[in-house]
Chains A and B, each alone.
Chain A
Amino acid sequence: MASEIAAAPAAPALGTEAGAGFIAHLDPRRHPWLAALAAVLLLVAAWTATGTTPVALRHLWQWSPTLLLGLLTNVQISVLAMAIGTAVGLLVGALSFSPFAPVRGATRWYVQFFRNAPVLVLIYFTTYVFPFELRLAAWTVPFPDWLKVVLGLALPTSAVVAEIFRGAIQSIPSAQWEAAQSLAFRRGEIFRLIVLPQCLRRMLPPWMNLYASITMSTALSSLVGAHDVVDAAQVASNTVARTDFTVLVYFTLLAVFFAYCYPIARATRALERRHARH
């Protein structure tokens, strides 16, 4: 009898313990994102069940495929601009160590010119400087607006990458060269095996920051007729023609850009912290 009484409260105690563990897992202080997601899901479920979804939200849901397609254009532009800008920037950065003074001078001017130009002006510049189609022998290749935006963004990107690269190489202490020299490495080997690997690690955080800022600049592409996420939002806003929807759609844009760029910023900081230790 006594043992039964003693055993009985034990079972629910186990249950609450497991429950407490589950609640703790959903503790909003520990998992703010999970908690927010749960709240949104609950709200949407309630709206759907009771049929009281706000009209603006219903419109947003309808337009979301268009907005996502536009966002894809932004991602495409940013990735391509970054790829081209990085390739050109590394080349320019390497040339800035050229033994020939005119080459060094040219790279310095290139970097200064494109780093100090407003991105919007560069986008207009590439848009109107290039024809809308290219004639290559017998073929006529269209030169779409979004590709011109890519070039317009790749110019300042290359200038900044060149600066990041030059700074990284200069930040490697000359003692590293001396140490490698005294171990009988050749100059080329020192650069390839000792200096460059250290440079790449140092370049990664500023390079990722640059990507985030280029991604935000892709919002300018709508101004020259590229069908990006901002353009999609404008079309949606004009079509629906409701003030609350317009406000909502631009809030959504802010949230989308934040959701894309913030993790990059977080990853950059994490990398910087890790490198600070080594």
Chain B
Amino acid sequence: MPATETATPLSNTPLVALRDVELAFGANAVLRGISLEVQRGQAVSIIGPSGSGKSTILRCITGLLRPQRGEIRVGDTRVDALRAEAEFIALRKRVGFVFQQYNLFPHLTVLENLVIAPTRVAGRERAAAEREARELLDKVRLSHKAAAYPGELSGGQQQRVAIARALAMRPELMLFDEVTSALDPETVGEVLTVIRDLVREGLTCVLVTHEMRFAEEISDTVYFTEAGVIVEHGPPARIFRAPASDRTRAFLHRALGDGARDPSDDSVPARRPAPFPETPPFDRLRFAL
């Protein structure tokens, strides 16, 4: 297999481009020179150990965090140079964000969660926004939960609502921040199915994930980060089967479990590796109460 570094031609201007982005919280350097590109219509996964700055990259792209150095472009927007609130608003209308902990608005029904931003922020007609919201709920297979409150849903259902809520703004770019890490293993699949559909439809997606098999399946490019730098990137087949760096190999060995995947072995393991919950599943606790 030819070991090309990028999966797409470089002639197109990328939708997202980070160049030498550095960010520190106090003395703690989180990003130490991150460069990354996402072409329009691509799915890019960022993998790596916890605390390697994966989520921070996503937060920088949507302007929730501001890097101290480097350049971030989303389309024609220089995100690192934005100052006024109106400029951030214009950016975030184009970028959808899905969080690990869903962060739905608990005081609103599922339908209202999907309608509030399009009507209040994008200024769409209520009836049209509602119709579109119902279509999106249909798409994430939750049309029967339109009148429910987030607290009445399981974690997987809440996460699917959160994806639909972000889609309701018709973003041209979706950022997924470890969206399955807080979920029960049995509900992970239903969320991944929704994301897989979006990628197939050609929506540009950036995923931070611990679901290695999923990243391998849907990504056009995979970035491996460790300790605030990108160790290597390339098409998933190469990253997962023939990583260039020993650090990538060591990480994949840990992440996929001993013997789950030998880099030289082409056969796909029957069992999906266990997801890596970075945080305890709070929702399970809540439902027990």
Whether B116 is near chain A, meaning CB under 8 Å from some CB there, is yes
Q: With contacts A176-B103, A278-B151 known, what are 15 further pairs, Cβ within 8 A?
A: A173-B103, A178-B103, A180-B105, A183-B116, A183-B166, A184-B88, A184-B93, A184-B117, A185-B120, A198-B107, A277-B151, A278-B107, A278-B149, A278-B150, A278-B152
Give 17 A-B contacts (CB < 8 Å), ordered by A residue.
A178-B103, A179-B97, A179-B105, A182-B92, A182-B97, A183-B117, A184-B92, A184-B93, A187-B85, A189-B120, A193-B116, A193-B120, A194-B105, A277-B151, A278-B107, A278-B150, A278-B152
Interface size of A by Cβ–Cβ distance < 8 Å? 22
Chain A 166-223 interface residues, beta-carbon cutoff 8 Å to B: 173, 175-176, 178-187, 189, 193-194, 197-198, 201
Residues of B near A189 (CB, < 8 A) are 120-121
Q: Is the CB of B106 within 8 A of A278?
A: yes
Q: Is the CB of A176 within 8 A of B105?
A: yes
Whether B29 is near chain A, meaning CB under 8 Å from some CB there, is no
Q: Is the CB of B89 within 8 A of A186?
A: yes
Which of these, A178, A193, A197, contacts B64 with CB under 8 Å?
Answer: A178
What does the 1/0 interface line of A142-177 toward B look like (CB < 8 Å)? 000000000000000000000000000000010110
Residues of A near B166 (CB, < 8 A) are 182-183
What does the 1/0 interface line of B94-125 toward A look like (CB < 8 Å)? 01110101011111000000001100111000
Residues of A near B96 (CB, < 8 A) are 182
Which of these, B103, B149, B169, contacts A184 with CB under 8 Å?
Answer: B169
Interface size of B by Cβ–Cβ distance < 8 Å? 31
Q: A175-B99, A175-B103, A193-B120 are in contact. Are A182 and B62 (CB under 8 A)?
A: yes
Residue in A182, A189, A193, A277 whose Cβ sees the most chain B Cβ within 10 Å: A182
Residue in B101, B117, B122, B289 whose Cβ sees the most chain A Cβ within 10 Å: B117
Q: Is the CB of A181 within 8 A of B92?
A: yes
**Smallest CB gap from A178: residue in B:** B64
Alpha-carbon distance A194/B117, docked complex (angstroms): 11
With both chains docked as a complex, state the minimum distance between the C-beta of B63 and any C-beta of chain A, in angstroms: 9
A interface, by DSSP: helix, strand, loop or mixed?
A: helix
Residues of B near A197 (CB, < 8 A) are 107
Alpha-carbon distance A181/B85, docked complex (angstroms): 10
Residues of B near A276 (CB, < 8 A) are 289
Alpha-carbon distance A197/B113, docked complex (angstroms): 14
With both chains docked as a complex, state the minimum distance between the C-beta of A211 and any C-beta of chain B, in angstroms: 23
Q: Is the CB of A182 within 8 A of B64?
A: yes
With both chains docked as a complex, state the minimum distance between the C-beta of A191 and any C-beta of chain B, in angstroms: 13
With both chains docked as a complex, state the minimum distance between the C-beta of B231 and any C-beta of chain A, in angstroms: 28
Residues of A near B107 (CB, < 8 A) are 197-198, 201, 278
Whether B160 is near chain A, meaning CB under 8 Å from some CB there, is no
With both chains docked as a complex, state the minimum distance between the C-beta of B151 and any C-beta of chain A, in angstroms: 5
**Smallest CB gap from A189: residue in B:** B120
Residues of B near A278 (CB, < 8 A) are 106-107, 149-152
Q: Is the CB of B105 within 8 A of A184?
A: no
With both chains docked as a complex, state the minimum distance between the C-beta of A203 and any C-beta of chain B, in angstroms: 13
Residues of B near A185 (CB, < 8 A) are 117, 120-121
Q: Is the CB of B116 within 8 A of A184?
A: no
With both chains docked as a complex, state the minimum distance between the C-beta of B150 and any C-beta of chain A, in angstroms: 8
With both chains docked as a complex, state the minimum distance between the C-beta of A179 and any C-beta of chain B, in angstroms: 4
Alpha-carbon distance A176/B64, docked complex (angstroms): 13
Residues of B near A178 (CB, < 8 A) are 64, 99, 103
**Smallest CB gap from A192: residue in B:** B120
Q: Is the CB of A181 within 8 A of B103?
A: no
Alpha-carbon distance A278/B93, docked complex (angstroms): 28
